[in-house]
Amino acid sequence: MRADRVFAYGATAGLIGDRILGDPRRGHPVAAFGRAATAVERALWRDDRARGVLHTLICAGGAAAVGALGARAVRSRPAATRIALTAVATWAVVGGTSLGREARAIGGALAAGDAEVARERLPHLCGRDPQALDGQQMARAVVESVAENTSDAVVGALVWGAAAGVPGLLAFRAVNTLDAMVGHKSPRHLRYGWASARLDDLMGWPGARLTALAAAAAGPDRRGAVRAWRADAAAHPSPNAGPVEASFAGALGVRLGGTLSYGGRIEHRAVLNGEEGRPVEAADIERAVRLSRQVTWLALGACVALRCAVSYGIRKGRG
């Protein structure tokens, strides 16, 4: 069976597996990678970029190498085995079901007026300071996290899976995890995490644009999504979160961005869809989760189509 069909069937099976099973409560492969990356950091850390580059190469390169070895081991096996490997890798690196579950739990608490429960659960989803947020601000934080993580935890992985198979899936997830671990601007990681942050920006670029496009196509306000993306995305400090959050904001008709609090540090970000949108409400969390799922399946279709088109072009060129 051709590689494009293996990816199509395997990625679809992996997303269905995530939809049914979600993340395992124990022994998640991403958690195991995180522990290994932490051990590498303990051995390598110095307050300079060169050590951080080495850290990124070892961790991300190691994940890609594991994927390449696995793909090579099943290369001559029956198609079902190769599909199964792609399915397991896809399931291991995407996190759409857990993302939706955590978002809905917070949304339910907010809808019930239980702000304390919402504050307890918010750190499971994002790094904001929950004690500094009221109900509306928590709802906004959840919608922003759903938007950004749709790209980071799902669509970006599919893009790199389509481009490079199992090694691409694992490498993307490794880089995204490293960015979350060391890519922030804390004193310890400002230099050491530079390489991980820049590589995450690079690898996340195509997935973020595909996520924004899919949100505009699937959202209830398509024109609003495109308008907010074009007008406001560049004002966001992240080159990839900007298009995604702006497109979600316009599609849902809400305002995102503004003042944020991370680890006691206050950030004042541009408001996304500020002229047309309204403040986020608890009910918008469910709308964002539904949009995230629609984006996921649209992105899968786009990735499969692109992989098939490239394969067809290669075959025609050889013929």
Instruction: Quickly list DSSP for 250-307.
Output: HHHTB-EEEEEEETTEEEEEEEETTTT-B---THHHHHHHHHHHHHHHHHHHHHHHHH
Mean pLDDT estimate for the chain: 93
Helix axes 156-182, 49-73, angle to 10 degrees: 140
Helix axes 29-44, 49-73, angle to 10 degrees: 140
* Residues forming beta bridges with residue 278, ordered by sequence position: 254
Give the per-residue pLDDT at 263.
Answer: 59
Domain spans of the chain?
A: 3-317
Q: Worst-scoring range by mean pLDDT, 21-30, 79-88, 213-222?
A: 21-30
Phi, psi of 10 (to 5 degrees): -70, -45
The C-alpha atoms of residue 126 and residue 128 are separated, in whole angstroms, by 6
C-alpha distances in Å from residue 54, one per residue of 39, 46, 58, 60, 183: 13, 11, 6, 10, 14
The stretch 111-135 carries a mean pLDDT of: 89
The C-alpha atoms of residue 39 and residue 281 are separated, in whole angstroms, by 41
pLDDT range class, residue 28, cuts 50, 70, 90: confident
Give the per-residue pLDDT at 264.
Answer: 61
Tokens representing 115 are 């702000």
The per-residue pLDDT for range 155-212, each reduced to its tens digit, is 999 999 999 999 999 999 999 999 999 998 888 999 999 999 999 999 999 999 999 9
